Chain A
Amino acid sequence: MGAGHTHALYVHEHSPIHRLPPQVKIAAAVLFVFSVAVTPREAIWAFAGYAVAIAALSRISRVGLHFLLIRLVGVVPFIAFAFLIPFIASGQQVEVLGISVSQEGLQAAWNIIAKATIGASTSILLAGTTEIPDILAGMARLKVPVVFTSIAGFMIRYLGLIVDEIGRMRVAMTARGYDPRWLWQAKPIAQSAGAMFIRSYERGERVHDAMVARGYRGEMPELRRREPTVREWLLGAMLPLFGISVMVAAMVTT
């Protein structure tokens, strides 16, 4: 929990997906995952279709299925929980390999596993084909408030620096024999976090000075990006359209 991965997922390639404007990709990804999330779990064929689409995209984008599968590790804890569900859930019991499990629970577990995996794969493909500054620009184009994307931009920029500094503090503490095992020994760590906050704040003030020195008057300048062409929107729309049609078909036939 909370220990997010900060290894950038971007894979440097030249593919039609990489070239698509970021707002197109973000919109397509969100719409597609929504249609996946709403697809009735009984329509197993639908999820097979989604999986094929994901596999195809990983090929077209040159990100590769291997890369995708490795990065899917993040979903494992929830998959593990999902596996537990048939055993702890209530409802009509059914025999699987000699063990009595909840039938409803099995369906629920399948539901979570399928949707979580497809959803995470979509996220990985999005991050894998879009550089971080572009994702920020895409968010801005999709009407996310500039304050929000500006703060996010600064966060991204200084995250690495702060992580490095914390790392150095930790090394210094370890070098002086600090090896905490229990919560009451965590005081130095917590205090170093406090010191880190102060250092970060003071850096923030210096950054603000540097911004002012280059003419900043309170509003981030609009760094224009190229508008997507109609063709690019259509290309991007293919994925969500596929998702929506499969979803509708699944709903209708279930």
Chain B
Amino acid sequence: MSPALEVRGLRFTYPDGRLALGGIELTVEEGQRVAVLGPNGAGKTTLALHLNGILRGSGSITVDGLELNDDNLDEIRRRVGLVFQDANDQLFMPTVAEDVAFGPANLGLAGAELEERVAAALRQVNAADLARRPPHHLSGGEKRSAAIATALAMEPQMLVLDEPTSGLDPLGRRELVETLQALDMTLLIITHDLPFALELCERSVIVDGGEVVATGATPDILANDALLRRHRLEMPFGFRKDNA
């Protein structure tokens, strides 16, 4: 059974010449939940944008056995759902329902089938009541749920989320955890929120300077203070061994 995601030797340079990714090696098995940790500027978001073919670097990206190339971008984008850091960038239609419908409509769905797909996606994030609301009027947590719904509506095999807890209040965070726990799909979560990573993801990788510098079970990674500190990471107060 092929892995959900296989990234081999991914390199990418920004237009101004800076090296963003210097050869990423990453394998994610189906159903796994992997946290992507690392300092700001490490290239995590850049990596995420490659997984969906928005950015194109050298090397290979294989999603469930299908290697990404110019001809199968549509299918790749159906398989890999992306949830952006700023939900406002992802909610661009006049109402939430239209936003959620945008993806499947591009896939060719229409009519009753489209409506059902939209309803199902909104149910998955407990946001059925947001359907007719304009995105501008939503709270941070509601925007986050709506954004996730827009990705879920494409029925992806894998979801990549970029800093999903940023800007959420504690209960919003809790609701997000519950929503993601209930999803039955492979998850790749970029996050600074280490307890969040611990709760959701059995596996973690650390990306720094455009490369994967560590990989392992989340509890092991987070217990390694020296490793964390080397990459500008640290468990929050109250979670550390030295002040338990």
Contact = CB atoms under 8 A, between A and B. Distances in A.
Interface in B119-153: 132, 134-136, 150-151
Given A156-B94, A214-B77, A214-B150, A221 B89 contact: no
A211 B86 contact: no
Given A203-B89, A209-B54, A213-B52, A133 B77 contact: no
A206 B89 contact: yes
Nearest to B94: A133
B77 A213 contact: yes
A132 B54 contact: no
B92 interface: yes
Given A156-B94, A206-B89, A224 B102 contact: no
B149 to A, nearest CB: 12
A213 B77 CA distance: 6
Contacts of B132: 131
B78 A215 contact: yes
Nearest to B92: A207
Interface in B85-111: 86, 88-95, 98, 101-103, 105-107, 110-111
Given A216-B106, A221-B102, A223-B101, A210 B89 contact: yes
A131 B2 CA distance: 48
Given A161-B136, A222-B105, A213 B54 contact: yes
B82 interface: yes
A12 B91 CA distance: 23
Nearest to A136: B94
Nearest to A211: B92
A206 B111 CA distance: 29
B154 interface: yes
A209 B135 contact: no
Interface in A211-240: 211-217, 221-224
A71 interface: no
Given A211-B102, A215-B154, A157 B135 contact: yes
B92 A221 contact: no
Interface string A133-160: 1001000000000000000011011101
B202 interface: no
Contacts of A207: 89-90, 92
B12 interface: no
Contacts of B74: 215, 217
A210 B94 contact: no
Given A206-B84, A210-B84, A215-B74, A154 B92 contact: yes
Contacts of B94: 132-133, 136, 153, 156-157
Interface string B53-69: 01000000000000000
A224 B77 contact: no
B154 A209 contact: no
Nearest to B136: A160
A211 B106 CA distance: 10
B81 to A, nearest CB: 8
Interface string A184-204: 000000000000000000010
B168 interface: no
Given A160-B136, A161-B88, A207-B89, A214 B103 contact: yes
Interface in A104-150: 131-133, 136
Interface string A175-189: 000000000000000
A215 B89 contact: no
B221 interface: no
Given A157-B134, A206-B84, A215 B103 contact: yes
B177 interface: no
A217 to B, nearest CB: 7
B82 A224 contact: no
B26 interface: no
5 contacts: A136-B94, A156-B94, A157-B136, A209-B89, A211-B92
Q: Which 6 A-B pairs have the closest CB atoms?
A: A215-B106, A133-B94, A221-B105, A214-B103, A160-B136, A206-B89
